[in-house]
A and B are shown apart, each in its own frame.
Chain A
Amino acid sequence: MTRRYRIEHSTVYRYPAEVGTSFGRGYLRPRDTPGQRCLQHSLTVHPQPSDLAHDVDAYGNGNAYFHITDAHTELQVIGRSDVEVTPQALDPQATGLPWERARPAGVDPAAVEFTLPSPLVTMPAPIRQYADRSFTPGRPLLDAVIDLTHRIFTEFTYQFGATSVSSTVVDVLESRAGVCQDFAHLAVGSMRSVGLACRYVSGYLATHPPPGQQRLVGADASHAWAAVRMPDGGWLGFDPTNDTLADERYTVLAWGRDYDDVAPLRGVIYTDSKTSTMDVAVDVAPLD
């Protein structure tokens, strides 16, 4: 069933000392995909940037560059988007083929990029060993993907603070804990280690309030999962954090090799301030 959402993603930075100049790049515009249309999008930055430009990166992700030249102690970036998501029917023929047939080598050169290690996703031997348990020879692709998704979901604990920005995929494997971004990286690394092409996907998940409760505005969060290339060249999204395939609850912002390619917001500031606080609020509201 086609679903429509109104998404608001707000990030506020507060600095104890003045920031003179601030440059930023945001990946906050939902991209158009075979199952998704971005109906409307706007980006608001406070204070008013002296330069704000929309851009498309090497992977076709929309993004925006901004430059603030007014001194400030608070920076607010809000992305507002309306999207329409249509679930994609899986072709059982493609997903039922042995997973080895989904390797892009020799048939889809551009997708080979997503089989290679990237700065945040390396593939040392333990990753390969972890993947091998799901990717047994000749197993149907969908079967293997669902198995890996389920294993990450059951074998790892969702836990803030278990990992840091500098944690590697191996750290996550050892600590058996992390957040969605870590699980996505682990899934991506596992797929790549067996020669499959796999993307890191940044986006949102529409949550349902517990029965009998109001949906809490802003209680949602940005999310991350993975997508693997199928034998027919399509991409199959799966979410090890929630043990599910990506369906109409999932809104794609951007994809890349890993988190660093598509971080929702990054930037450079000029300040003598030593600390800052960051508050993120995401609201994914159903429009229908």
Chain B
Amino acid sequence: MIWAYAICDHPDAPLPRRRGLAHAPLEGIAVNGLLAVVSRHTQAPGDPALDALWTHERVVERLMVDRTVLPLRFGTKLPDADSVRSTLTARYDEFMAALDRVRGRVELGVRAMEPPREDGVPPAAIAATPARVARTGRDYLLEKLAHEQRNEHGAAALHEPLSAVAVASRRGRLQSDDEVLRAAYLVERADVARFRALVERLQHQHPELAVLCTGPWPPYSFVAVPQAGAMAGSAAT
């Protein structure tokens, strides 16, 4: 079987010597202007252990150094080279258009959280414990609503200025009660430093939040063509 990492442009450029999953060498399968970067395996190597995720990620990051990439979802397997070719052929225009959208751009991730308090109890846990904050169910619900509104206000105060520096942005589903914002931004390479400086400034303006920025990532959150708007978790809803 074939494990696929990414689709890129410049099919004539030599592939990096970096190894893929299970130390398999990388191969390219080209259709006109498109190249799928893959490795061949007799057994599926796709157990999502952390080192496998990082291996996949590093292949895609390495490709991103000298070409434009459409990262494929981890776990993309095809039976043989012919099925890779027929997929590239069938969706050629779609992939070319997606490459044009992300060319020269990278993805930055921003997540904002309420830090745990000094006593170690996360703020969300307090809001979720009616006895500690309110006497009645109604008070509890009002407190919970106020908490959510504060969080949404905080999220917008970060998301709006960051979006202004980005070409595109996606907000993801929050994964835990202490998360306030989980978002991805597609940013011109030339604007990455400016974006990071803005994150620092926003952190300074919002000392009540922990604002963390990761990247540059391959544009995972901006290439999901059929399921539009699917940054990460939002695909589940």
Are A and B bound to each other? no
